[in-house]
Amino acid sequence: MLLGGIDEAGRGPVMGPLVVAGVASAEGEPFSDLGLRDSKQLSPRAREKLESVIRERADRVEVNSASAIELDMWRTTMSLNEIEVRMFGVVARALRCDAYIVDAADVDAKRFGVQVSAALRHDAKVFAAHRADENEPIVSAASIIAKVVRDREMEKISRRMEQKYGLPCGSGYPSDPVTRNFLDTVVREHGRLPEDCRKGWKTATDCLERNGVRPEAKLTLFDGKPQPV
């Protein structure tokens, strides 16, 4: 039986992509000896080392990433939970496992599992649970892959932002003072939010209001409801 674990990284940040990753294995517990846990509890260096081992041991690894502008566009017609369900579904279909364990992005874990199951195009069991990234090694593995992919993309974004605006953008998380200072500075000096910022996020709109700048026009869709691919 091929078992898949799926998790995301980057749901809450105001900058950068949302990344959903999936790991599949036909073995019982190929990652149990690695002492895996939620990627947020690991240092960047530890995640990098584990990522290479996970990719070597896994039968399949799939990643689906949505940029800040894609998230803003999709949010015009979908909730963040709906976006995640679709992105989880894309990864699950690519893995094509017999069963999946997913870290629930909804307060109702059972509902999230049912919705991800409905997004599949083949018969498979879906088990959704909160904190699955801490309790299920295969989901922990997916969490690490997702976090490493997002971290690498944020490094690229940070280099671009520093080159253009002259200061670092930080991790992209609202709790990061470097990120908050970056947004405030760009808005004050340029009268708009920077590229790679999720302009529909409350952190971004609060920044505009705090600095006396009118919110930017909402994104419009030209070809109907967007689908994560």
Q: Is residue 222 in a domain?
A: no
Q: Does 178 share its domain with 193?
A: yes
Please tell me whether residues 165 and 148 are part of one structural domain: no
Q: Is 205 domain-assigned?
A: yes
For residue 50, is it within any domain?
yes
- Could you give the percent of the chain with pLDDT greater than 90? 82
Average pLDDT rounded to a whole number, residues 89-107: 97
If one counts every other C-beta atom within 10 angstroms of the C-beta of residue 168, the result is 14
SS3 197: strand
128 and 21 in a common domain: yes
Total tally of structural domains belonging to the chain: 2
Residues 131 and 190 in one domain: no
What are the tens digits of pLDDT across the range 135-169? Answer: 999 999 999 999 999 999 999 999 999 999 999 99
Answer yes or no: do 122 and 180 share one domain. no
* pLDDT at 224 > cutoff 60: no
- Look at residue 14 and tell me if it is in a domain: yes
Query: Do 190 and 82 have their domain in common?
Result: no
- 176 and 108 in a common domain: no
- Is the pLDDT score of 27 beyond 90? no
User: What pLDDT, on the 0 to 100 scale, is given for residue 226?
Assistant: 42
Q: Is 0.85 topped by the overall pTM?
A: yes
The verdict on 15 and 126 lying in the same domain is: yes
Residue 224 within a domain = no
Does residue 171 carry a pLDDT above 90? yes
Average pLDDT, the chain: 91
pLDDT of residue 220: 45
User: Which amino acid is residue 132, in one-letter code?
Assistant: A
Residue 100 falls within a domain, yes or no? yes
Question: What is the reported pLDDT for 223?
Answer: 39
Same domain membership, residue 61 and residue 160: no
Lowest mean pLDDT among 36-50, 89-103, 139-153: 36-50
Segments forming the whole domain that contains residue 188: 155-210
Whether residue 185 sits in one domain with residue 97: no
128 and 46 within one domain: yes
* Whether pLDDT at 225 is above 50: no
From the centroid of its chain, how far is CA 33? 26
Write out pLDDT tens, residues 172-219.
Answer: 999 999 999 999 999 999 999 999 999 999 999 999 999 999 876 554
Q: Is residue 227 part of a domain?
A: no
Average pLDDT over residues 102-119: 97
Do 159 and 77 lie in one domain? The reply is no
Grouping H, G, I as helix, E, B as strand and the rest as coil, residue 29 is: coil
Q: Which of 154, 170, 186 is the last residue of a domain?
A: 154
Q: How far apart are CA 14 and CA 127, in angstroms?
A: 29
Question: How does DSSP classify residue 56?
Answer: H
Q: For residue 64, which of 150, 157, 173 has the smallest C-alpha distance?
A: 150
The CATH number linked to 50 is: 3.30.420.10
